A and B are shown apart, each in its own frame.
Chain A
Amino acid sequence: MWNWEFAAEALPILLRGFVNTLIATVVGTVIAAILGLILAVAIRGLPRWINWLVRLIVAFIRNTPLVVQLLFVYYAFSDIPGLVDVPALVIGFIVIGIHYSTYMSESYRSGIDAVPPGQFEAATALSLPPVRTFTAIVLPQALRATIPSLGNYAVAMFKDTPFLFAISVVELVTAAKEFGGSTFAYTEAFTLAGIIFLAASYPTSLLIQRLDRRLATY
């Protein structure tokens, strides 16, 4: 049943697909982490109606499947002249990044809410301007509570990258499927794909757990 020759042949092809998986995850995480912070912080100061509009968009993104969002953006934007040539992978990590930013913003928000009121009072007592209070006191403390959960979302995002097949990005799972399609060695291809996923995400989870413990105390 298991053919080592096919497995050896599949591995480099799968690893090439895995590069796309990694790019989508890393860039997607960076986009989500930055946009999530902006969503959590910036909208506090915006006029009510913009705030309301942003909330509506966030609710929309959270309550529709990622794969639908990928397909929508991929086809909707392919009609716009000038955007035709944007690589599918780029659309992929942007959409995944935006999708996860709506979740990460909630992590940031709860991290910020967890900063004790006494910290804000001490900042006021020292006459620190709001921006300095935020960047030097609130954010560093909020991030301790937020980073582990951002890490968990990054792992979740990593596991969502196979949806990129929908917009024809050859990531790890699509590579496995294609290899299986041409050789009928589906077992080898998907087993290896699973092992690669596990080999990447399990150590990451452990790292996040350790980080969580380390960040729990000063």
Chain B
Amino acid sequence: MPPTENTPTTASASSHPAIEFKDVEKSFGPTTVLKDLNFTVAPGERVTLIGPSGSGKTTILRLVMTLEELTGGYIFVDGQPLTHEDRGGKRVELPKKRTREMTTRIGMVFQQFNLFPNMTVLENIIEAPVHVLGKSKVEATKEAKELLERVGLADKADAHPTRLSGGQQQRVAIARALAMNPEILLLDEVTSALDPELVGDVLGVLRDIAETTDITMLLVTHEMQFARDVSHRVMMFDGGQVLEEGPPDQIFNNPQHERTRKFLSSVL
């Protein structure tokens, strides 16, 4: 399913970028992972981050999901500050509650699935719609069952996650993220922990979501064919900087940087 254009096809009512990184800096103790990072992701755009391990790709996703503390700069979601804002030249941290309101618009799927083992599949999916969005249990259950149908696991609603294969768990995790109707979906190496024969099912579900929704996606993956098929744009990271970026055809077929060429030949 190659995108027909290199720009997102869906026009958004909002004039703001879905995600904006402004002078972002992230360090873990003395180690600086990201420095002066600036980029935007348009609404409905699907962007794949590639690059060698340690280049900061996953950190970028984790910053957007507020799983890591932003040590410098700002992240905006739909034009609104996520964790910090500039008040008259002073960088001020937003109240946790405000940040949590912002993150309801963002969903994330993890490499290790991270389903809640003490809940059934259905309970995993309706947990946040009920307790964060305030939906009724009946409504949330109805939507959850539709989502399970969509990811091909309609018969597993009452199963416990530990009884499922990795691929099934990951599809539940995708359904759980979608149940929040996110504007932005972050996918962090979602097939890396799966047996090769299970990767296809999960990618199939993601392709379906890419085709049928206008959710903005930011993904880190080693599945280059998948990245090529679904992304509007590929960003090559190295040492916490954007080395080069462009439409998948350009990056994969005609990379400008030697470093990108080397990286691609090592993973393709």
Contacts and interface: CB of A to CB of B under 8 A. Distances in A.
B132 A128 contact: yes
A119 B132 contact: no
Interface in A121-161: 121-122, 124-129, 132, 136-137, 140-141, 144
B118 A141 contact: yes
Contacts, number: 65
B131 A122 contact: no
Interface size class on chain B is 20 to 34
A116 B108 CA distance: 17
A129 B131 CA distance: 8
Nearest to A136: B127
Contacts of B108: 125
Contact of B162 (A118, A124, A132, A218): A218
B114 A122 contact: yes
Interface stretch (B48-56, B99-107, B260-268): B99-107
B226 interface: no
A144 B114 CA distance: 18
Contacts of B114: 116, 118-119, 121-122, 125
Interface string A186-218: 000000000000000000000000000000011
Contacts of B161: 218
B160 A136 contact: no
Contacts of B176: 126
B107 A118 contact: no
Given A217-B162, A218-B162, A125 B65 contact: yes
B108 to A, nearest CB: 4
B66 to A, nearest CB: 6
Interface in B27-85: 65-67
Contacts of A136: 116, 119, 127, 131
Most buried by B among A124, A137, A141: A124
Interface size class on chain A is 10 to 19
A137 B118 contact: yes
Contacts of B65: 121, 124-125
A119 B161 CA distance: 13
A122 B169 CA distance: 13
Contact of B116 (A127, A129, A137, A144): A137
Interface string B89-125: 0000000000011011011101010111111000000
B175 interface: no
B128 to A, nearest CB: 4
B218 interface: no
B202 interface: no
A116 B116 CA distance: 10
A127 B100 contact: yes
Interface in A76-126: 116, 118-119, 121-122, 124-126
A125 B177 CA distance: 8
Contacts of A132: 131
Given A137-B116, A218-B162, A126 B128 contact: yes
Interface in B135-166: 160-162
A128 B118 contact: no
A218 B67 contact: no
B66 A128 contact: no
B103 A119 contact: no
A127 B177 contact: no
Nearest to B133: A127
A118 B62 CA distance: 12
B110 A121 contact: yes
A122 B128 CA distance: 10
A121 B58 CA distance: 14
A-B pairs with lowest CB-CB distance, top 7: A126-B128, A122-B114, A118-B114, A125-B108, A140-B118, A127-B104, A127-B103
26 contacts: A118-B110, A118-B114, A119-B114, A121-B110, A121-B114, A122-B115, A122-B116, A124-B65, A124-B66, A125-B103, A125-B107, A125-B177, A126-B107, A126-B127, A126-B128, A126-B132, A126-B176, A127-B100, A127-B180, A128-B127, A129-B131, A132-B131, A136-B127, A137-B116, A141-B118, A218-B162
Given A127-B101, A136-B127, A218-B162, 6 more contacts: A122-B114, A125-B106, A126-B128, A128-B128, A128-B132, A137-B116
